Amino acid sequence: MGLLIKGARALQLYPEAISKVMDIYIQDGKITRVGKNLESELGSGKVQKVIEAQDRYVMPGNVCAHNHFYSTLARGITANIKPSYDFVAVLQNLWWRLDRALDSSSLHYSGLVGAIEAVKAGSTTVIDHQASPSFIRGSLKVLKETFETCGLRGILCYEVTDRNGFEDRDRGIEENVEFIEYEETELLKGALGAHAPFTLSDESLNSLSEAVRAMKRGLHIHLSEDRYDLSHSHHCYGLHPAERLARHRLLDAMSLVIHGVHLLEGEVEILNRHGSFLVHNPRSNMNNRVGYCALLPSLDNVAIGTDGIGSDMFEETKLGYFKSREAGIGFNPSDYTRFLCNGNMILERYFGDKFGRIEPGFAADLVILDYRNPTPMVADNIGSHFIFGLGAHAVETVLINGRCVYECRQFPFDVERIYAEARKEADRMWEKMEGL
Ligand SMILES: [Zn+2]
């Protein structure tokens, strides 16, 4: 028994394609057939649920390749934050106080709201990077439950760092390893999380490297987000940060390197040689005033993340494109939508399935859009429709692994109650931060 989407127009961002009106049949989490009049061909016995798309567009779900659900309750924070004039001060005065204030309950609501808003925005996968130094052990399990409540696909990891001492560093590595060993599911995989080279000694990189090889998962790490990471690496180790990771055998096709704003040309070559992904987070880079990754065109594998500013990949991709225009880089809209679609390649590496197309054999992670194009939309101008017209406002129904998790803009649970609880948790957490 399967699910049938009737009367849909398949919209594919990359390679760009739009189909004629057709049906999509889904079984066991995958698209198994596409074509006309599938209902009569299949017979009613094979169809458990029908979704009438009524000529709407259906596209593969968006992938947010870097996020921090632990920061959802930072929105509008009123805790007393000292003026922070540079990147490291922002970390010290805001983020490293917020993550220490997190406990099981605040993380639960932070993750839950993060997952709800991801699905509502048409993101079917979120790759998360978790930090909660006062609650390390079991934190990934709490996050896992929030993903499962919303039916969201994900790759989770805990951010290993030396900044809270070596015991906490080791606890962080264990949290990653235990998640991979005991908590992975069909929809949730683990990675080895690490903060950034400037908060990790060589000994810590060695421990991470051992775990990467033992677990056969990739490293997920911030790199050269601010110039400080680069100068720290030069000063303390005489190496560029990417060079240092490569020396510790931490770069491979499963690695996710985040930001890379200050990457040097030699480091781009290192990332390309290892087949690693660079995840670009344009809104975060603009907000932190750390600069723009001008070497994006030279990188083989670029995906897009939000770095904790929600999970709306329509918005992130648009602003990234506009930033590239301002920076004078000759990208077309379709270059940016291709970066967005590249997130599916990360999923293929972690889940071993096929993602990102509406064809038999591909995962049924799909979004039905209520988008009325006022001008013709054809394969050649999908990128422009995406940047200048489409948006999370059009997301009507979301399927993940073949299951309808959000239908006609409704979740199958009480969202209002969760938001009310989240507001109470945010209040409690902000108060706690005052004493940290
Ligand atoms: Zn980040």
State pLDDT tens for residues 202-215.
999 999 999 999 99
Task: State which residues form the domain around 105.
Answer: 62-351
Query: How many domains does one find in the chain?
Result: 2
Same domain, 17 and 132: no
Q: Do 40 and 79 share a domain, yes or no?
A: no
Flag whether 322 is in a domain. yes
Q: What is the pLDDT of residues 83-100, one digit of tens each?
A: 887 888 888 888 888 889
| Cα(66) to centroid(ligand 1), Å | 6
- How many angstroms does the Cα of residue 159 sit away from the middle of ligand 1? 10
Mark whether 288 and 201 lie in a shared domain: yes
Claim to verify: residue 54 and residue 147 sit in the same structural domain: no
17 inside domain: yes
CA of 359 to the centre of ligand 1 (A): 33
User: How many angstroms is it from 279 CA to the middle of ligand 1?
Assistant: 10
Ligand 1 centre distance from Cα of residue 432 (Å): 23
From the CA of 2, how far away is ligand 1's center (Å)?
Answer: 38
pLDDT at 184 > cutoff 80: yes
Taking residues 205-229, what's their average pLDDT? 97
Task: Tell how far the Cα of 358 is from the centroid of ligand 1, in angstroms.
Answer: 30
Ligand 1 centroid – CA 103 distance (Å): 20
Task: Assess whether pLDDT exceeds 90 at residue 434.
Answer: no
- Looking at residue 425, what is its pLDDT? 96
Q: How far is the CA of 349 from the centre of ligand 1 (A)?
A: 21
Ligand 1 mean position, distance from CA 148 (Å): 22
In a domain, 428, yes or no: no
Please compute the mean of the pLDDT values over residues 208-229 and round it to a whole number: 96
Predicted structure pTM score: 0.97
H/E/C letters for each residue in the chain?
CEEEEEEEEEEECCCCEEEEEEEEEEECCEEEEEECCHHHHHCHHHEEEEEECCCCEEEECEEEEEECHHHHHHCCCCCCCCCCCCHHHHHHHHHHHHHHHCCHHHHHHHHHHHHHHHHHCCEEEEEECECCCCCCCCHHHHHHHHHHHHCCEEEECECECCCCCHHHHHHHHHHHHHHHHHHCCCCEEECEEECCHHHCCHHHHHHHHHHHHHHCCCEEEEECCCHHHHHHHHHHHCCCHHHHHHHCCCCCCCCEEEECCCCCHHHHHHHHHHCCEEEECHHHHHHCCCCCCCCHHHCCCEEECCCCCCCCHHHHHHHHHHHHHHCCCCCCHHHHHHHHHHHHHHHHHHHCCECCCCCCCEECCEEEECCCCCCCCCHHHHHHHHHHCCCHHHEEEEEECCEEEEECCECCCCHHHHHHHHHHHHHHHHHHHHCC
Give residue-wise pLDDT tens across range 302-343: 999 999 999 999 999 999 999 999 999 989 999 999 999 999
CA of 153 to the centre of ligand 1 (A): 19
Ligand 1 centroid to Cα of residue 129, in Å, is 7
